[in-house]
Amino acid sequence: MTRGDKILIVLGLLATVLVWAGLRYLPDRSGELVAVVRVNGKEVARLPVSSGSMSRATIEVPRGEATIEYGQGKVRVLPLDHTVCPNEICWRTGWISYPGQSIVCAPNRVVIALEGTVKEIDSVAGR
């Protein structure tokens, strides 16, 4: 085994580790739409938005609690007290339903981002 062979093996192993590590941080592409809730940059919940029935989840935020309603392919923050969210942007955003959309509450450092895929109709052909 030459020095070049050893370098090639090490580079191959390094590439494998980097690809594996990178795949862990890619958005979920399983076909299921998921709302990822982060507070202070830390993931606190993954809510299955694609489920058929509406559900609610309450999360702790720096200024109190926030209730998130999700299901049937959409998610929103329910109205909050003015003391919890003084600018009211997060709950006034309303429903979001497409991957890449997000709801942000800056005073509470909360981000709710949709990840996954949704099936969309590209076109309709008629006779």
> Does any domain span residue 120?
no
Distance of CA 102 to the CA centre of its chain: 8
In tens, the pLDDT along 61-106 reads 998 899 999 999 999 999 988 788 888 888 899 999 999 999 999 8
Whichever domain contains 47, its CATH number is 2.60.320.10
Q: Which domain holds residue 46?
A: 34-115
The pLDDT of residue 120 is above 80: no
> Does any domain span residue 5?
no
| Structural domains in the chain (count) | 1
The C-alpha atoms of residue 47 and residue 62 are separated, in whole angstroms, by 20
